[in-house]
Every structure is written in C-alpha cells, then in structure tokens.
A and B are shown apart, each in its own frame.
Chain A
Amino acid sequence: MTTQPGEAQVTPRPSALARLGSLGPLLGLGALMIVATLLNPDFLTLSNLSNVLTRAAFIGIIAVGATFVIISGGIDLSVGSMAALIAGSMILIMNAVSPGVGTFGIIALGMLCALLIGAGAGLLHGTVITRGRIEPFIVTLGTLGIFRSVLTYLSQGGSISLGNDLSDAYSPVFYGKLLGIPIPILVFAAVALLGGLILNRTRYGRYVQATGSNEQVARYAAVNVTQVKIITYVIQGLCVALATLLYVPRLGSASPSTGLLWELEAIAAVIIGGTALKGGSGRIWGTVVGAILLVTIENVLNLTSIISVYLNAAVQGVVIIIVAFMQRGKKVG
C-alpha cells in the first residue's frame, strides 16, 4: 500500500480555547469527588480510591478499545458478552491442561488463549462489517447474543470456576501490588497511555480519525479504510481480552451474568469523555475520566444512604446527563 505524505492535515490541532473547553468531564469528576468527600470523608481514603480505580480498570480498558472503534465510525455492542465468553473459555482451557504443565505455564497459556480469542473475535467483526458490508450495530448485536449463549451453554447456566490451586496462583494479578499500586490500575494506565500514543502520535491513529470523519475523502486520500476499520475491531477485542485477564483472578469464576451491560458502560465512558458517537474525533484521556466517573457515582451511592436505593439508577442517569451537558456548553462557549 502506498501512503501519501501530509495526512496530518486531516485533523488540525484544536485551538487553545477548544482545548480548555474540552475539560468538561474532568470538571465533572472533580465536582463529584468534592460532593462525595462532603457526604462521606471515607471517600478520600487511599483504600477507597484504589478500590474505585481498580473497578474502573475493567470498563476503562474496554472503553479505550471502544474509543478507536467509535472514532472510526463504528460501534461494538458485543464487548460484555465477549468478556464473558473469553473468561469462561480461558478458565476451561486452564482447568483442562491443569495436570502436567507448571502453574506458571498454565496461566501464561490461559492468557495467550484469551488474547487470541479476543483478537480473533475482533477480526471476525471487522471482516464481516467491512467485507460483508453489514452495519456494525447489527453484526455486534448478533455476536452479543452468540457469545453469551455459547458461554451459558458451556457453563450449563451455572458458573465456571477455576481450580483452587490455579485460582490461588493467579489471584495476585488482580489482588497484587507493584510499588504500592494495584496491578489492574497499572495495566489500565499502560493501556490508556499506549492507546493515546497510537491515536495521537502515529499514522494509523490519524487514519482512524480520517476514516471516521469522512470515509470517502479518506478513501480518495489513499487510506486503506477497510484495513483501518478491521484493525480497530481487533484492538477492541484485545482490550476486552486484557480486561478479562484482570477480571478472572478476582472471583476465579465466570457465569452468565459476567460482563452484563458492560457494552453500555464502555460506550457511555467514551461519549462522556468527549468522543463523538458519530465518529471522526475523540480522545483517550476523556474516556479514562469517563470510566472513572461512572464507577465513582456507584461508589458514592454505596457510601451514603441519603437517597433511597430504589433511585440509584436515576442518580446515575442525572449525573451522566449533567456531565455531557457541561461538556457541550463549554464547547459552544
């Protein structure tokens, strides 16, 4: 494939004013944290903040992948089901090879299989969507059902649990700490950094934005749109697999309720973070803030009981809309 120089012009750098204005989600998170601390000072304890960030890691890592898909003009509704299927398959594979190979080898093999399944599922999505010319909404809605029912079939509706010894050996991946920071948070940070680099500092990243902004123009500019799109779904699949690698050691089991509605949370994190649902432009740090914000709302609701538990979902809805509004208002100003 030949590529043209000067593709950087596809997305001009935003002006200083727009950059300041785009801080909406961060301001929203800041405000929420102040309210949370006023309601319950325990919110600001190190252990609680680390709980919140660790929880945000699952949705956050998936949402980094979703940012690529959405910027390129696509959507992936299957991520929650995919996570469940990967978790279940991974546990079954690890249990199956359990005798023989050493514990470390089994875990490495399980992780490798998880990444392969994730990348494979992404490749399948991308290929069917681009070469098969079917709307991404429909393709991934289809696989949403397929992935989850395959898991339900594998687990006979119950749960799939990792053997006790393996579970103990694997658990540090979730519960362990490096330099005092829980591993899921470190992985989340690394994924976000890498995602930001790819999106903003590489040719591929600019192609993704060009494709989402105007597919025809990108095609005329000799961007291999098909390939660019397929790769976004592979990135998404890999991100889901990575999140699953961290999820499995937490409870050591997968069940049909694993990853339920994660797709909505991931997409919400992306949009709250300031990425346009119609594609074309977006930012990884926004997505990270979006994911943390969603988890924080839930955390605050559990830490206080001023609002009836029946209204939890309503509070979440209100906060999401307010943050989205703040962001919109700033942009216009």
Chain B
Amino acid sequence: MQQLKNLALLSLTLLASAALAQTKQVMGVSIPSADHGWTAGIVYWANQTKAELEKQYPGLTVIVKTAKDSNEQANQIQDLSAVNKINALVILPQESAPLTRPVGNLQKKGVFTVVVDRALTDPTAQNAYVAGDNPGLGKVSGEYVGKTLGGKGNVVVLRGIATVIDNQRVDGFESVLKAKYPNVKILDKQYANWNRDDGFKVMQDYLTRFPKIDAVWAQDDDIAVGVLKAIQQAGRSDIKFVLGGAGMKEMIKKVQDGDPLITADVTYPPTMIRDAMRLTAKSIMTKTAMPKSTIIPSTLVTKSNAAKFYYPDSPF
C-alpha cells in the first residue's frame, strides 16, 4: 500500500515538474570551503538561503558547491555549467585573477554571473558585483576610535594577512585619523594574520613595549579574542577598549552584554552571500534587472543595535 502511495506521489511530482518546466531555473553557488570563521559563515548562510529561496520560488533549484582552492573552484564551475546546466552563477572566488577567465567563459555561454566580495580582474566577465566595504570598515573603525578617545591618545594596530583587503582597511583607518583626529597616535602596526594565536602573541609584545596604550584596533574579531586574553594576562588597566571587526557572534554578544573592553564592533558580514543570492534569484525568476554593483556597508555595532546583528545559530 505504502509503495503504491509513494508511486502515485512520485508520478504526480513528475507531472508537476513537467508543467513547471518553462519557468525552471538553476542557480549555481560556488564558494570557498569553510577553512576559518568567516568562510564558515559564508557556507552556513549559502545553505540557509538555498532552502529559503527554493521555498520562495518553486521553479528554482539552487546548487551550493564549496572549493578549497582556485583550481578546484575553476573545475567546479565548469561542471556546474556542463552537467547541471545552470542559468546563473553566484561565485565568491578564492582568488580574483585565476578565476576571471573561467567565469568569463560561462558568461559567454549565456550564464548570468554574479561575483561576491572579490571582484574579477576583468569586470566585463561579471554581470553583477556584490561586496562588503573594506575601506569603509577601516573608516568606520577610525571614526569610532577617534571619537571615543576624544581625539587624543595612543593606538596600536594589529593587521591581518598582507593582502589588498588588509591594505584597504588600514588605509581607510589611517586616512580618517589623519584628517579628523590628528592627535590620535598609531604606535605600531604588526601582522596578526587574522588568527587568535598571533593576536595573543603580538599583543603580548605590544604590552611589553608600550607602557601606555589607550585603544587597540584589531580589525578582526578572531584577532581581538587573542588580544583580550593577552590584556587579561598582563593585568593592564590603561586600555580603554578593543575594536575588532567582521561581526563574529561571540563578539556581538559581548557588545550586547556591555563588556567593558569590547564596546563596539564593525561588520563585514558573511550574510553578503545571502544578499547576493536573493538579488540573483529575484532577477532570474522575475526577469528584472539586477543592480550592476551592490556594496554592503560596514556598520558600527554598539549596545543599542547589537541584537539586530546577533545570529546564535550561525557558526560565526
């Protein structure tokens, strides 16, 4: 009996899908595999949004693929086009340069291409671009640090990994300080590689070297975790606050709970993949144009608005 029922159900579904064939669209999503907190957030939000969009648009199939490097990602999008016959591709490239041509090839075959976070070196290969705002993250942070210190004080900076992203953030930060808060002095800038262990080590050495530090700009929440431990160990009370970045849920929670050192955070949200997927789905399903470029601003999170940025189920 049960089998018969299943069979009937199956044939019904088949009939239904045949009827929907005209409006059926396939969207491929190619993202880096979860190798650190932020990319883990990307993978989480991509899968969440897949479920949400497939429910919202019955004719839409979303395929999410992760890749550990550019090479694997290039093969992957080829397969997405050849095997899965995708109509649209949302890609967060591992690296811009090596993926520019593979994405361009898909576009020539008629796939609508949307690039997230890292723009291709040849912008004509992307139909649309959705990204966070790295210089903005630096500027918002600089503004907060300058203002909170009342325009005067000593700041140490912990950088990420030597990349364009890191440079844009630091340049943004310094430009605001130079223009608006010339009495805020940057004591030093060392690389902490966007991880907790290096954040701890670099901060320990800053504490040895500088007897008076007013604020720390760690620009990343993982680095900030290490910084907090180092300050706690040294038992120093001169530091007024530590500003991270990205919007890791543990840090947002601290801001929300009124932590004495983590008074704010600046977002660089992995939810940008959700925004990109939503915009793309809307564009292909309703046949409307999608904005050529969408920049998701970096927002200052303080105690008053932290609840809006707290996602307890996300791994990040």
Contact = CB atoms under 8 A, between A and B. Distances in A.
A18 to B, nearest CB: 36
A157 B39 contact: yes
Contact of A310 (B33, B162, B204): B162
- Which of A55, A251, A298, A303: most chain B Cβ within 10 A? A251
Contacts of B204: 51, 55
Contacts of B34: 152, 156-158
A226 interface: no
B101 interface: no
Interface in B24-55: 33-37, 39-41, 43-44
A331 interface: no
A9 interface: no
Nearest to B40: A157
Contact of B201 (A47, A175, A298): A298
A6 B197 CA distance: 48
A48 B233 CA distance: 12
Contacts of B5: none
A78 interface: no
A77 B225 CA distance: 28
Interface stretch (B6-14, B205-213, B257-265): B205-213
A258 interface: yes
B35 A157 contact: yes
Interface in B142-194: 159, 162, 188-191, 193
Contact of A303 (B191, B209, B229): B209
B283 interface: no
B195 interface: yes
Interface of B (DSSP majority class): helix
Contacts of B303: none
A140 B171 CA distance: 42
Contact of A258 (B40, B197, B316): B197
Size range of the chain A interface in the assembly: 20 to 34
B315 interface: yes
A42 interface: yes
B217 interface: no
B201 A251 contact: no
Nearest to B34: A157
A253 interface: yes
B36 A251 contact: no
A283 B72 CA distance: 44
Contacts of A40: 209
Given A159-B37, A312-B191, A250 B229 contact: yes
A155 B159 CA distance: 25
B42 to A, nearest CB: 9
B36 A256 contact: yes
Interface string A298-315: 110011010001101000
A302 B226 contact: no
A257 B38 CA distance: 12
Contacts of A305: 188
A170 B191 CA distance: 29
A66 B162 CA distance: 31
B37 A251 contact: no
B282 interface: no
A55 B204 CA distance: 10
A255 B189 contact: no
Given A257-B195, A302-B205, 20 more contacts: A47-B208, A51-B204, A55-B201, A55-B204, A152-B34, A156-B315, A157-B34, A157-B36, A157-B315, A158-B34, A158-B36, A250-B200, A250-B229, A251-B197, A251-B225, A251-B229, A255-B36, A299-B205, A302-B201, A302-B209
21 contacts: A51-B204, A55-B201, A156-B44, A157-B33, A157-B35, A157-B43, A158-B34, A158-B315, A159-B196, A251-B226, A255-B37, A255-B195, A255-B196, A255-B222, A257-B197, A302-B201, A303-B208, A305-B188, A309-B190, A309-B191, A312-B191
